[in-house]
Amino acid sequence: MIKKIRKVILIILSSFIVLASLILAYIIWIQPIDSRTADHSIGIARKTEAESKETIKVKKMPKPNSNYSSSPQSNLRSKDLSQLNLTSEFNAIKRVVYDTSTKWPRRLPKGFDPDKSMELGKNPGLHVQELHKKGITGKGVSVGIIDQTLYTEHSEYKKRLKHYEEIHALSKVPEMHGAGVASLAVGENIGVAPESNLYFIASSFADNLLIMLKMKGHDSKGDTYTNGITYKYYAQSIERFLEINKTLPEKEKIRAISISRGFNKKDNDYDLFKKALDKANDQGILVVTATLEQDYGIGIAGLGKEMMSDPDDRASYSVGSWLKENAEDYQNCLFLPMDCRTYAGITGEKSYVNDTSGGLSWVVPYLAGLYALAYQVNKSITPETFIEKAIETSDSQVVENEGKPFTIKYLINPIRLIEEIQSDT
């Protein structure tokens, strides 16, 4: 009898533990997060803490992860490589992502300096820093970003972060993507517009994390419908920025919104998103997405670059790493820096990541940052005129791609672009 009672109690306890675990998992991982400031005022709705990550000692060079990219990389973030001999691993080193926690060995490939590469990656490139020296920094212009949960405390943008809230975000902890795009747009040492103010909304394209994890793929070009995708939260986020703008002085209003993802016309609530985007555009706000061609008639693409090459030298650039195989598909796109950029990390206020193979996610905030510079020098600029000028002032450059010559028709020229827009005042 006692054994039966114990068995029943054990079953009840086990069931309780399972139920509690499911509830906890829902609260932590599945339940969306909505954090707003009091009375919907401007401010930081919730501060986020740095990710705690231990450095792991490895016995051999990690293999490239080919699951998510046609240009696989070895993940060396928070890895201790100090005991390895990497002198013959030059080709492998050319395709890595590492951070300030990576411990490098003394024996490295000839010509490779991880510290120098990290510093080179902080430069937006193409002489953008020359504009900064002239006082063209985006000062007095605000940039809005809609992305994943932000690490609010990073030194690159903490002083410029005027507003942070979450509209149906899917993570309570900061994610690398949010810090990356924020720093590339307005970072103090990294950003295209280092003195622009930052307004950031963390949001999502699914009702909950479980749905998002079940998605096997997403066609942002609009050829197929992806079950589970919804754009209503992005639409709400754009509308929220427009509400915020009503409270801001004219000289401090949000002029560019950066959203580092593509949008499929066949997915749920695309009409809501498009309506919000058009509303922002009508108010003179440039909304940059990875599918820019749907809204402004020209797509965007990313430039490739070797780790140790000069980011200001146009000859350093080629077709982006993962675009090489299908470069012809991007023939008529506007190309901007993408590969070998350094961006803010989420493991500390001074943490950084260097990524040898970027994505359009890094191109989007670059273009948004340029619009902030353009607006600073010419308050009458419109999104349409800006895009037209970006194309008109771009360079054509023949590069080597997969052993053959390839012509990049439109390679962004920031200096010429801003000077042209400034001369129209």
Query: What residues are labeled active site?
Result: 147, 177, 361
Q: How far apart are CA 196 and CA 161, in angstroms?
A: 9
Q: How far apart are CA 54 and CA 31, in angstroms?
A: 27
Q: What is the dihedral of CA 179, 185, 186, 188, to 10 degrees?
A: 80
Q: How far apart are CA 341 and CA 209, in angstroms?
A: 29
Compute φ and ψ for 270, nearest 5 degrees. Answer: -60, -35
Secondary structure letter of residue 152 according to DSSP: T
Return the sign of the alpha-carbon dihedral for residues 175, 176, 180, 186. positive
Q: How far apart are CA 181 and CA 191, in angstroms?
A: 9
Cβ contact 300:333 at 8 Å = yes
Cβ contact 178:150 at 8 Å = yes
Cβ contact 226:172 at 8 Å = no
Q: How far apart are CA 331 and CA 292, in angstroms?
A: 15
Compute φ and ψ for 99, nearest 5 degrees. Answer: -135, -175
Number of CB atoms found within 10 A of residue 116's CB: 11
Query: What value does the CA radius of gyration of the chain take, rounded to a whole number of Å?
Result: 23
Cβ contact 263:230 at 8 Å = no
The number of angstroms, rounded, from the C-alpha of 253 to the middle of its chain's C-alpha atoms is 22
Secondary structure letter of residue 27 according to DSSP: I
